[in-house]
């Protein structure tokens, strides 16, 4: 069948809300866009374990430690679902790892900021996971089957993560004046990076139009950012904390909050590898990869031995 016909049929399928599966014909650019987005998402989950992992040994109680540990383990699981989904598009896991380790592949800007106090665990859960949910719930309806199915599981766990963070913020903000100050300080430092997570504004987002046509993305970066701001401002009121934006104001006509100018120079600087923790994050990840070599080798040897045993039986 001529390529043009195949492409038409492919788009019709998408327009009719049918899922594309690994063995279906797909345009090469669709495949590449998915590999890019899914692998970056997987890398974000794995790198995203580092800022929180930093606090597991210092969690203020056994309960907090158990919950944080579970959350960080969930993130490893999310990375694995997503790497598996990307593999169905014909890229190997080793290739994805090498793209991450060489700095060729991106991961979310948000994980290049430091976690200075325990309140940062609250702010990350509340804001970062809150932003992740806003962005990821629509991905449960992404046109590529393995991705959309992986996202259903990811989102169920993300909602627990968001509540975990909000509960920490609630406890701190209703606590002593020092605790309240810590919560406000964490909000001050995480607010702007969190709203940057949604990516560049629509007019500066080169991939959005095509990704929306292919129903990989269902909402634009700015639409999701606005939804996040509208929901989160109300949550901050319950906490009694102040969003660090003097231009934040309810706009009756639009039915949304207006908010201040985002520092896009800061965003691009972080994306390009020059944020406060980019180098540290990548080095930690590479070290873990190198030190884990014997584990991978042992697992491989074990699998081969079992296979040989089965074949001999």
Minimum distance, C-beta of residue 226 to ligand BYC, in the bound complex (Å): 14
The backbone torsions φ and ψ at residue 268, rounded to the nearest 5 degrees and listed phi first, read -65, -35
Structure tokens at 203: 């007019």
Q: How far is the CB of 270 from ligand BYC (least distance, A)?
A: 7
108 binds ligand BYC (CB under 6 A): yes
Q: Which of 112, 110, 122, 113 is nearest to 60 (CA)?
A: 122
Q: Are 202 and 222 in contact (CB under 8 A)?
A: yes
Segment lying near ligand BYC (by CB under 6 A), choices 5-13, 169-177, 180-188, 195-203: 195-203
Using the contact rule CB under 6 A, the part of the chain among 54-62, 181-189, 192-200, 239-247 near ligand BYC is: 192-200
Only one residue has tokens 């490893």, namely 76
Instruction: Report which secondary-structure segment, H or E, holds 257.
Output: strand 256-258
Give 71 or 173: the residue with its C-beta nearer to ligand BYC: 71
Query: Residues touching ligand BYC: how many (CB under 6 A)?
Result: 27
The H-assigned helical ranges of 137-277 are: 145-173, 177-196, 208-213, 221-239, 264-269
| Least distance CB 235 / ligand BYC (angstroms) | 17
Q: What tokens appear for 35 in the block?
A: 């590999």
Which one of the spans 23-31, 101-109, 174-182, 281-289 is the region binding ligand BYC (CB under 6 A)?
101-109
Options 89-97, 167-175, 206-214, 241-249: segment touching ligand BYC (CB under 6 A) = 206-214
Confirm or reject binding of residue 99 to ligand BYC (CB under 6 A). Answer: no
Q: Which among 147, 274, 158, 287 is positioned nearest to 218, based on CA atoms?
A: 147
Contact region with ligand BYC (CB under 6 A), list: 59-67, 93-101, 128-136, 293-301: 128-136
Q: Which candidate, 287, 267, 286, places its Cα nearest to that of 108?
A: 267
Could you tell me the end-to-end alpha-carbon distance of the chain, in angstroms, rounded to an integer? 47
Pick out residues in 246-275 that bind ligand BYC (CB under 6 A): 271
Write the burial class of residue 22 (CB in 10 Å: 0-12 exposed, 13-18 middle, 19+ buried).
middle
Residues 10-49 that bind ligand BYC (CB under 6 A): 36-37, 40-41, 44-45, 48
| 221 binds ligand BYC, rule: CB under 6 A | yes
- State the nearest-atom distance from the C-beta of 199 to ligand BYC, in Å: 3
Q: CB of 279: closest distance to ligand BYC in angstroms? A: 16
204 vs 308 by CB, closer to ligand BYC = 204
The phi and psi torsions of 158 (rounded to 5 degrees) equal -60, -35
- Which of 89, 121, 186, 197: binder of ligand BYC (CB under 6 A)? 197
CA nearest neighbour of 232 among 252, 267, 256:
256
Q: Does 135 bind ligand BYC (CB under 6 A)?
A: yes
Beta carbon nearer to ligand BYC, 40 or 226: 40
Determine the 3-state secondary structure of 283 from DSSP. helix
Residues 119 and 183: beta-carbon distance below 8 Å: yes
Which residues on adjacent β-strands are paired with residue 257?
250
Binding site for ligand BYC (CB under 6 A): 36-37, 40-41, 44-45, 48, 75, 106, 108-109, 128-129, 132, 135-136, 197-200, 205-208, 211, 221, 271
């Amino acid at each position: 069948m001529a390529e043009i016909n195949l492409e038409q049929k492919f788009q019709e399928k998408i327009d009719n809300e049918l899922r594309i599966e690994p063995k279906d014909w797909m345009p090469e650019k669709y495949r590449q866009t998915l590999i890019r987005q899914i692998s970056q998402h997987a890398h974000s989950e794995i790198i995203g374990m580092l800022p929180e992992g930093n606090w597991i040994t210092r969690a203020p109680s056994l309960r907090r430690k158990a919950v944080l540990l579970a959350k960080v383990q969930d993130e490893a699981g999310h990375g694995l679902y997503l790497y598996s989904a990307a593999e169905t598009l014909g890229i190997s896991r080793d290739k994805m790892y090498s793209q991450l380790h060489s700095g060729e592949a991106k991961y979310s800007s948000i994980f290049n900021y430091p976690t200075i106090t325990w309140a940062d665990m609250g702010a990350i859960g509340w804001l970062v996971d809150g932003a992740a949910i806003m962005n990821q719930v629509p991905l449960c309806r992404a046109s590529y089957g393995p991705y959309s199915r992986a996202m259903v599981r990811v989102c169920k766990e993300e909602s627990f993560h968001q509540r975990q963070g909000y509960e920490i913020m609630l406890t701190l903000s209703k606590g002593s004046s020092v605790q309240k100050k810590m919560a406000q300080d964490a909000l001050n430092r995480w607010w702007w990076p969190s709203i940057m997570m949604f990516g560049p504004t629509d007019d500066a987002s080169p991939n959005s139009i095509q990704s929306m046509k292919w129903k990989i993305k269902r909402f634009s970066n700015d639409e999701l950012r606005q939804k996040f701001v509208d929901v989160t401002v109300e949550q901050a009121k319950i906490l009694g904390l102040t969003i660090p934006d003097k231009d934040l104001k309810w706009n009756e006509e639009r039915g949304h909050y207006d908010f201040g100018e985002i520092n896009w120079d800061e965003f691009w600087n972080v994306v390009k590898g020059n944020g406060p923790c980019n180098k540290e994050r990548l080095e930690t990840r590479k070290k873990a990869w190198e030190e884990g070599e014997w584990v991978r080798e042992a697992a491989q040897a074990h699998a081969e031995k079992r296979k040989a045993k089965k074949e001999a039986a």
